[in-house]
Amino acid sequence: MMSGLRMQRDAPGQAHLYLREEQIRLTYEAMLLAWRELSATCEPLQRDNQLGSAHHRVMFLVSTHQGLTMSALLRRLNITKQSLNRVLQELMARGLIEQRADEHDRRLKHLHLTQQGAAIEEEIFVALRDRMTLAYRAAGGQAVEGFRRVLATLQGEGGAP
């Protein structure tokens, strides 16, 4: 680097403009800033309900995947069992999440939002949905589908390495 300028280190054979280092850096920065804005959308509602972002993430995933097991939730969040257990215990103590035994294997516990937990999660999700709907409408359907494919690939679901 010279005088604050970053040398370009494009991947070999990456002739497409969107694969150049500068574009990837700009895109990653845009993702960070978008996440910051989405988080800011949630924060007042989380604060009103005395929830942190970890509580909200758990409630969102349990709402989206009703009956999720703790091991499946651990895989989705990629956090330690100890960290998840702390958050789950707090949510259960507040009556926002409950565990139900599996009908066929009593050792398995399925997570569900209580009525109160579902109401709080819905309130926060509506704010997120409204914010994302505006962005989706501005970008258009084709861009949204492309964005989803990029996110799926980043998550390891798109078939690319």
Q: With bands split at pLDDT 50, 70 and 90, how would you rate the model's confidence at 14?
A: low
The parent domain of residue 83 ranges over 21-154
Residue 40 lies inside a defined structural domain of this protein: yes
16 falls in which pLDDT band (50, 70, 90)? Answer: low
Cβ(108)–Cβ(101) under 8 Å?
Answer: yes
Calculate mean pLDDT across residues 12-39.
83
Q: How far apart are CA 142 and CA 161, in angstroms?
A: 24
Report whether 110 contacts 68 (CB < 8 A): yes
- Identify the residue whose tokens are 């988080």: 39
DSSP state letters, 107-156: T-EEEEE-HHHHHHHHHHHHHHHHHHHHHHHHH-HHHHHHHHHHHHHHTT
Residue 161 lies inside a defined structural domain of this protein: no
Total domains, the chain: 1
pLDDT at 161 over 90: no
Q: Interhelix angle for 53-64 vs 21-48, to 10°? A: 90
Using the predicted structure, report yes or no on whether residue 17 has a pLDDT greater than 70.
Answer: no
Chain centre to alpha carbon of residue 48: 21
pTM over cut 0.85: no
pLDDT tier at 54, thresholds 50, 70, 90? very high
Return mean pLDDT, the chain. Answer: 89
**Backbone Cα Rg of the chain:** 20
Does residue 70 fall inside a structural domain?
yes
Q: What is the pLDDT of residue 102?
A: 85
Domain-located, residue 14? no
> pLDDT of 60-87, one tens digit each?
999 999 999 999 999 999 999 999 999 9
Residue with tokens 């501005």: 138
Residue type, 51: L
Tell whether 76 is covered by a domain: yes
Confidence of residue 1 (pLDDT cuts 50, 70, 90): very low
Q: Give the CATH number of the domain where residue 135 resides.
A: 1.10.10.10
pLDDT of the residue at 2: 47
Chain position carrying tokens 């998840």: 84
